[in-house]
Amino acid sequence: MNNKFNGLSTIGGMALTGLAGTILAATTASAFDHRASYVNVVSSGGNGCIEVVDAHLADSGKSVVLSLDNMAVAAGAGAHPADSVAVCEVKLTVGLPDGVQYSLKGFETLAHLSIEQGGAASLQVRYGFPGTRQGLASLSFQGPAERDTLLRRDFSYLNQYFSACYSRRPVTVSVKLSSRSDYDGYAIADAELLNQTRTIKLPLVIQECE
């Protein structure tokens, strides 16, 4: 981990600033063998991932790491309105051994937050499989704030959806950063949210098919 993030604290398991990440995975499958597992990017789009998105497995096949090249937002003096939102939607095929299925547990990422009084910023992550609803996890911050922070949020149990057994149907993941600046009567508050490492790691909750 970069030394600049050593000693960071989280707020109620939450934090926010830019996008960079590490997400821990939980596994319930009794004999999960990750050596034949893989992840492929089917498609990607959005102003937050202009270049081809890279994806790979980490944590012995129990998490997916996405590399997003343009996840930074700004609002306030000198910022264009289009700079206030960055979105990347990625469709992935995750190949796991037969007999197991997976869901996403949440996200964890490192970022830099710079918000003046009257400004705000947020991070949202959504995911879904064909034929399922979308799971949503989000964090939001109000100014004043100036710090490097560890961001962590799990999807709620009610927002946890699993892949179909014995299927390679893709999962769609959407990452959205946004910032907002309000007039305080005299000036516009600046609000910036910067993805420090340009990566976000998504955990896989893996369980045996019934």
The predicted-structure confidence for 47-82, as pLDDT tens digits, reads as follows 988 877 899 999 888 999 998 887 888 888 878 888
The count of structural domains within the chain is: 1
Q: Is residue 6 part of a domain?
A: no
Q: Is residue 126 part of a domain?
A: yes
Task: Name the residue with tokens 């981990």.
Answer: 1
Q: Is residue 188 part of a domain?
A: yes
Summarised one tens digit per residue, pLDDT across range 107-124 is 988 889 999 888 899 999
Q: Is residue 4 part of a domain?
A: no
Q: Is residue 7 part of a domain?
A: no
Calculate the average pLDDT of the chain.
80
Summarised one tens digit per residue, pLDDT across range 80-105 is 888 899 999 999 999 988 889 999 99
Instruction: Check pLDDT > 50 for residue 14.
Output: no
176 or 98, higher pLDDT = 176
Torsion angle of the four alpha carbons 77, 192, 72, 87, in this order, in degrees rounded to the nearest 10? -90
Residue type, 52: V
What is the band of 184 on the pLDDT scale with cuts at 50, 70, 90? low
Q: Is residue 13 part of a domain?
A: no
The string over 121-150, giving b where at least 16 C-beta atoms fall within 10 Å of a residue's C-beta and e elsewhere, is bbbbbbbbbeeeeebebebebebebeebbb
The strand pair at 191-195 and 106-115 is best described as antiparallel
Q: Is residue 173 part of a domain?
A: yes
Which residue range forms the structural domain that includes residue 104? 19-208
Q: Is residue 8 part of a domain?
A: no
Calculate mean pLDDT across residues 120-144: 92
